[in-house]
Each structure stands twice: as structure tokens, then as C-alpha cells.
Amino acid sequence: MFAGDTLFAESTIVSKTEDDPRLLPYKKAGVVKILLRGKNQRDEVVLEITRELVVAKKP
């Protein structure tokens, strides 16, 4: 990655779960695991991270 590059981001949902033990206090939530890729103008991957988000369930 260099100054002047044009960056693009794309996210992909890798998994979701509703029975994660970390969620015991939150009965109306689930965990979504997301892969984020950053690419430059030549479509080269310059960044890749995986993150987990706690997301509220629909009522």
C-alpha cells in the first residue's frame, strides 16, 4: 500500500452462532464472524482481517 493508492473494501460473512458461551448474559444476541479484505486499484489484497460482532436478534 502506497500513498496515492485507491483502496476498496469487501466484507464476507464467515459464520454466525447463537450459542456462544460469551453471550450468556445476552439472550437476544448472536455472534457474526466477518472477513474484511482491503484491495488496491490493481486488485491486490493489501489488508485482511477477521472480526467478530455481537448482533441483536430480531424480536
The average pLDDT across 27-54 equals 94
Enumerate the domain spans of the chain: 8-56
Output phi, psi for 21, to 5 deg: -60, -25
User: What is residue 45's predicted lDDT score, i.e. its pLDDT?
Assistant: 95
Residue with grid cell 469487501, as numbered in its chain: 10
User: What is residue 56's predicted lDDT score, i.e. its pLDDT?
Assistant: 86
What percentage of the chain carries pLDDT values higher than 70?
98
pTM over 0.95: no
Q: What is the pLDDT of residues 9-29, one digit of tens each?
A: 999 999 998 877 877 777 788
Give the max Cα distance, the chain: 46
